[in-house]
Amino acid sequence: MAPVYLRRWWSGLSQQTVNLSPPGFEGSNPSRRTNTKPAPQRALWYNSPMPIISVKNLTKKFNGLVAVDDISFEVKKGEIFAFLGPNGAGKTTTIKMLTTLLDPTEGAISLNGSDVIKDPRNTRKSFGIVFQDPSLDTELTAYENMEFHAVLYGMSSSMYTSRIKELLELVELTDRKDDLVKNFSGGMKRRLEIARGLLHHPKVLFLDEPTLGLDPQTRNHIWGYIKNLNEKEGITVFFTTHYMEEADRSAHRVAIIDHGKIIKEGTPESFKKETGTKTLEEAFLALTGGTIRAEEASSLDKGRLHARMWKR
């Protein structure tokens, strides 16, 4: 299990960053931009026909309001899959249903061979998730957060001590492992959450806006880890983002959801070709229109404000 290559790769990446060479993940994966001759490993995972997530006629209604409206799609094993859409389009609701946090009104979901609705407990072992909002206990240290997660997932201490060490090294938090998380920056928290999401060897990693509010340096690093894990360990990645250039650069396949329906699915290139645009962002705007979406402030938004006022 020891991903020695990850560490080696990561130390290589940090060096690159220090040397101010072009952004790390571009360098580690030069074929991405053109997509004409994909790297061998990428082709292997990408061409694998087996779906690891399959969603059929999924619908979620909240008191008559249809948040997700009869969507169906598949994510192949080893794929990096971007799930895009404007605010309030149904992205987070879909992720919550895929990760057993919300029961669908109708439809079926299978994840790594488990029925998500009928067998949530087995499903939960197969995926890791990084939520849109930090979900760390800020009163605990980085190591304690990791340990907590390991115990929740039924790992024995002999299993998790070495795994935690590896992952903390991977995300470069080893020297801060005994610091309380409340003293961490946003980027450090995100890195820790990614490490935590990988702790129990999940087959699928869900990332709900993993780079929201982070500076470009941190965003580059985070995409560096994610793409490397995908290539070397074959982890399937399902992510949402509002940064279209991230989806453009990293995703093998993209689905766009709007008003609860999937309006388009394909590779970033096919999107651009079809809409006659140069970037995924332009394609996205062409497909979803330019109007700003009304979204009511959720209790979570109020909570965020409150948290800032009462920072403990």
Partner 1 sequence: MHACGSDNLYDMYLNVIYILWVRQLKRYARSRARIVSSVMQPLLFLVALGFGFGPIYAKAGGGDYIQFLAPGIITMSILFTSMFSGMEVVWDKQFGFLKETLVAPVPRFAIMLGRTLGGATVAVLQGVVVFLITLLIGFHPGGIISILTAFVFMFLIAILFTAFGTAIASRIDDMQAFPLVMNFLIMPLFFLSGALFPLDRLPAALAFVVRLNPLSYGVDAVRSALVGLGHFGLPLDLIVLLGSTAIIMAVGSYLFEKIEA
The distance of closest approach from Cβ of residue 181 to partner 1 in the complex, given in angstroms and rounded to an integer, is 10
Which of 76/124 has CB closer to partner 1?
Answer: 124
The distance of closest approach from Cβ of residue 205 to partner 1 in the complex, given in angstroms and rounded to an integer, is 13
Q: Which of 123, 114, 136 is nearest to 96 (CA)?
A: 123
Q: Which of 76, 52, 23, 9 is nearest to 246 (CA)?
A: 23
The distance of closest approach from Cβ of residue 253 to partner 1 in the complex, given in angstroms and rounded to an integer, is 24
Which of 8/306 has CB closer to partner 1?
Answer: 306
The distance of closest approach from Cβ of residue 300 to partner 1 in the complex, given in angstroms and rounded to an integer, is 7
The distance of closest approach from Cβ of residue 210 to partner 1 in the complex, given in angstroms and rounded to an integer, is 14
Which of 154/290 has CB closer to partner 1?
Answer: 154
Interacting residue ranges for partner 1, rule: CB under 8 A: 96, 99-103, 121-122, 124-125, 129, 131, 133-140, 144, 147-149, 151-157, 159, 180, 299-300, 302-303, 306-307, 312
Cβ 29 vs Cβ 223: under 8 Å = no
Q: What are phi and psi of 255, to 5 degrees?
A: -125, 140
Please name the residue that has the structure tokens 């700003």. 292
Q: What angle do CA 221, 222, 226 make, to 5 degrees?
A: 120
The distance of closest approach from Cβ of residue 284 to partner 1 in the complex, given in angstroms and rounded to an integer, is 27
Which of 136/195 has CB closer to partner 1?
Answer: 136
